[in-house]
Amino acid sequence: MGEERKKSRVDDINRSIYDIKDEVEFSYKVKTGLTEDTIRDISKKKEEPEWMLKKRLEALAIFNKLDIPPWMPDISELDMDHIDTYIRPKTDMKARWEDLPQNIRDTFDRLGIPEAEKKSLAGVGAQYDSEVVYHNIQQELEAQGVIYVDFETAVTKYEDLIRPYFGKLIPPNYHKFAALHYAVWSGGSFVYVPKGVDVKMPLQSYFRLNAPGAGQFEHTLIVIEEGASCHFIEGCSAPRYNVANLHAGAVELFVKKGAKLRYSTIENWSKNMYNLNTKKAIVEEDGEMVWVSGSFGSHTSCLYPDTILKGDRSTCEFTGITFAGKGQFLDTGSKVESIGKNTHITVNSKSISKGGGTALYRGVVQIGPNASGTKGAISCESLMLDNESRSDTVPAIIIENDDIDLGHEAKIGRISEDDIYYLMSRGLSEEDAKAMLVRGFAEPISKALPLEYAVEMNRLIDLEFEGAIG
């Protein structure tokens, strides 16, 4: 009987924590579909200033005019007329976990968020469906002028800080789903780190989508002032349903002179999710932007963090891994635009596909005419674990001056049968040997992940192989 269980469906095992469905309860749900009345209703419920409603309506008009981008994979099964764009949970925001309704508290307990806050986080935000339900930050950071609040609070309380940045990096006309985001955005985080402040412990926001047929559209805006530093962690998950869910968030990051920002994202969406997220950063003189990205879920993903190296000697480092299993099409990558002089670019991307899944890496490095002295190294590696799966790399390097030093390497392959045989001759089972080789392939990425997510990734690999053999 134990052996039978071991060979059961992998996605029933590895998502046991994430796939627990809570009873769908809400205090308010907007009418399904996307109309001007929908937008006005959302804005009214949020008691927003008039300027935000105006931006929403402008974005809706853009959404209706734009076509789906030609570079996107097939999303024909996604019907916005059947997506609930705003679901308010049955609670207001709390500053103590114990004050949340029992079902919501149980969800975040299972995910380990309260425990992680106690051990290693300086602040936590937790979103449930369309609204942030928990938010807290260490008083020591508040005393230093650090702001970490939900985005609704930021719009009203810190309007003067928000308005110069909101929608500047990712305008509504960026693409059709950016316009959708600005029309119906809800929830998200605002982080402001004053000049010279070093936030030594990470901040983390976690986004949980519980309701079937719903969308989540959080907005994250982070401003790191001159000489300051911060590590922000973003986690995402949802239970699996037999209807399409949609995630179309937006992330805008502003890294000022000599500042440092590390942005770690772990996306473990369910396999009915369309993940159409948009992320962009701009880095000033001597600034540093580090992306760490893990994409382990969703039916279809389009995710390409974009970094503009505006200032001289600014740097960007992107480290990412994608794991595409059965029924998944994960289109991920990165973009770096070098404008300043003597910038530095490092891209290290790995993808794994199995069970007929497709992992596509799409990357662009663009070096402008004035970006002399740019140095960089780009590495894209793909590993296919069977003959059904597919991996593609589509790198593009655009160079507009000849004073650069840039290396590029791309590899696509399968696990070596000789390596498997060698490890089996040393006493390992076939599945243990394959899992060990995949973990070795993924190690550079797992080392960059926050500890709890690196452990989860290794666990995922082990469980995938338990179900893949026999």
CA-closest candidate to residue 315, choices 348, 361, 283: 283
72 to 184, 274, 327, 329: CA distances (angstroms): 21, 12, 17, 11
Comparison of pLDDT for 14 and 1, the residue scoring more: 14
Q: How far apart are CA 159 and CA 161, in angstroms?
A: 5
pTM of the model: 0.91
* Other CB atoms within 10 Å distance of the CB of residue 51: 12
Closest to 307 measured CA to CA, from 249, 361, 255: 255
* 16 confidence band (pLDDT: 50, 70, 90): low
CA-nearest of 262, 263, 374 to 314 is 374
Asked whether residue 453 carries a pLDDT value surpassing 70, the answer given is: no
* pLDDT of 5: 33
The tokens of 206 are what?
Answer: 């976690």
Are the C-beta atoms of 358 and 327 separated by less than 8 Å? no
- Tokens at residue 360, please? 């596509």
Statement: residue 9 has pLDDT above 50: no
Q: What is the pLDDT of residue 1?
A: 36
* pLDDT per residue as tens digits for the range 381-420: 888 888 888 888 888 999 999 999 999 888 888 877 888 8
Gap between the Cα atoms of 301 and 335, Å rounded = 16
pLDDT of residue 172: 97
Assess whether pLDDT exceeds 80 at residue 425: yes
Q: What is the pLDDT of residue 459?
A: 66
Share of the chain above pLDDT 70, in %: 90
**Residue 11 pLDDT > 50:** no
Per-residue pLDDT of 283-311, as tens digits, reads: 999 999 999 988 877 899 999 999 999 99
Tell whether the model's pLDDT for residue 342 goes beyond 50: yes
Question: SS3 for 386?
Answer: coil
- In this prediction, residue 129 has a pLDDT band, given cuts at 50, 70 and 90, of very high
Q: At what angle do helices 50-65 and 36-46 cross, to 10 degrees?
A: 150
Q: In sequence order, what are the residues at sequence separation of 6 or more whose Cβ sits closer than 8 angstroms to the Cβ of residue 397?
A: 364, 365, 366, 367, 378, 406, 408
Contact 284, 314 (CB under 8 A): yes
How many of the other CB atoms lie within 10 Å of CB of 114?
Answer: 18
- What does the longest C-alpha to C-alpha distance in the chain come to? 70
DSSP tag of 450? -
The band of 151, judged by pLDDT with boundaries at 50, 70 and 90, is very high
CA atoms within a 13 Å half-sphere pointing along the CA-CB vector of 184: 30
| Distance separating alpha carbons of residues 298 and 75, to the nearest angstrom | 12
H or E element: which one contains 147? strand 147-150
